[in-house]
Amino acid sequence: MALLKLKGVVQNYAWGGTEYIPNLIGEEVTGDKCAEYWMGAHDKAPATITSSGQKFNDYIAANSQDLLGKPVYDAFGKLPFLFKVLDVNDMLSIQVHPTKKEAVKGFAHENELGIPLSAPHRNYKDDNHKPEIMVALGEFWLLHGFKPEANLIATLSETPELSQLVEVFKTSGYKGLYQLVMEESADETNQVLKPLIDRVLPLYKEGALDKSSPDYWAAKAYLTFCPEGDLDKGIYSVYFFNIVKVNAGEAVFQDAGVPHAYMEGQNMELMANSDNVLRGGLTPKHVDVPELLKHVAFEETIPNILNGDAQPDGLERIYKSPAPDFELSKVSVQSGATYQSNADTVEVIIVLEGNVKATSGDELLDLTKGEVFSVSAGDSYKIAASDEAILYKAKCPVK
């Protein structure tokens, strides 16, 4: 089969919204938190092939070369990416991902130590890196890398409770600053951040803060993660990192070492097939500070917002990234128009808006909003729209 219709899996994480994903995939809104919709072959939550009921990971295992294509099979042996829709209502944890080399080392080391894969203090769940690219589906907010020097100094100077950190930064740089707050005691953190929260929380509640201000996110983080008990050190990071607003159709790539956190909105996310996350706060989960500090890139980040490269057909925009594991593109098909492509390697495609007919040879799939399908390597296919359709496509750039 060239075309396989897939049913993904909803992940009910606490930070998710309740409506966006059920509305997208045509399911009832029950009030459950629906954070992510996984469209892949990850063993934890594989998609189902709707015609046969078979799990996509089992199908791939039995038809690897045919579905993936030889180059991808040789390079990865399995589907190298995981494709998701995210609905971020509450802020996610601050995190950083290891490089491939560090992931191989860390995974082997924790195996030697005999730390079970399911242990809460296990850092490395696999031996893979986890670069990520996201395209915003509407206004989307995230933290992304350390602010450039002058911006960071300005933010710290303007925030009375943090102004003493200006000297720390000037003398010991990004690493000295970050290490100081991450290694200080809970009491020390409370002493600094409690007055800050006491000052900004009333402003937040009055609606007097703008989302471009770290005060807004500090107050939101406080209410989400620590309305009682110790203040979460991640609140410092809201002041240290770039607050980035991305509009619909714009993308951000996060490579190993760049600290980041999704804060609000919906996006399409495509990542290497890995679970390796080192957390830096805004979470009740395990934070391993020494391990975290080994992987953070202590340097300024100037956010690079990608608009995608328009392709000659005028329908597709490709968001290029350095990741060898995946390539994300947006395909817009006007009513009556047809998109044509040849799948060099396996592709996974979601219809985000509109109604389309996908055909390959004599195979035909009728697809509507929220429906997902895969195309096997080596097969050419067409997508015809009966009304204005928007699709997002994941593939592997290996040829």
CA angle 270, 66, 365 (to 5 degrees): 70
Choices 93-101, 168-176, 215-223, 233-241; region in contact with Zn ion by CB under 5 A: 93-101
Q: b/e string for 232-256 if b means 16 or more Cβ within 10 A? A: bbbbbbbbbbbbbbbeebbbbbbbb
CB of 251 to Zn ion, least distance (A): 14
The values of phi and psi at residue 229, to 5°, are: 80, -165
CB 82 within 8 A of CB 11: no
For Zn ion, the nearest residue by Cβ is: 95
Residue closer to Zn ion, measured from CB, 5 or 42: 42
CB of 170 to Zn ion, least distance (A): 30
CB of 254 to Zn ion, least distance (A): 6
Site string for Zn ion, 217-236 (x = CB under 5 A): --------------------
Residues of span 95-124 touching Zn ion by CB under 5 A: 95
CB of 262 to Zn ion, least distance (A): 8
Residue closer to Zn ion, measured from CB, 69 or 280: 280
CB of 397 to Zn ion, least distance (A): 20
The values of phi and psi at residue 372, to 5°, are: -130, 145
As a whole number of angstroms, the distance between CA 325 and CA 396 comes to 6
Q: How many residues bind to Zn ion according to rule CB under 5 A?
A: 1
Choices 90-98, 171-179, 200-208, 345-353; region in contact with Zn ion by CB under 5 A: 90-98
Residue closer to Zn ion, measured from CB, 95 or 267: 95
Question: Please, which residues have CB within 8 angstroms of residue 236's CB and are 6 or more apart in sequence?
Answer: 162, 181, 189, 193, 281
Residue closer to Zn ion, measured from CB, 95 or 376: 95
- 175: Cα separation from own chain's centroid: 25
As a whole number of angstroms, the distance between CA 396 and CA 103 comes to 21
CB of 242 to Zn ion, least distance (A): 15
Site string for Zn ion, 43-72 (x = CB under 5 A): ------------------------------
Catalytic residue among 122, 199, 279, 317: 279
Residue closer to Zn ion, measured from CB, 253 or 392: 253
- Residue 307: name the closest of 146, 142, 145, 133 by CA: 133
The helix-helix angle for 165-183 and 149-158 (nearest 10°) equals: 90
As a whole number of angstroms, the distance between CA 82 and CA 85 comes to 10
Residue closer to Zn ion, measured from CB, 189 or 266: 266
Q: Is 279 a catalytic residue?
A: yes
CA diameter of the chain: 69
Residues engaged in binding Zn ion (CB under 5 A) = 95
- Annotated catalytic sites, by residue? 279
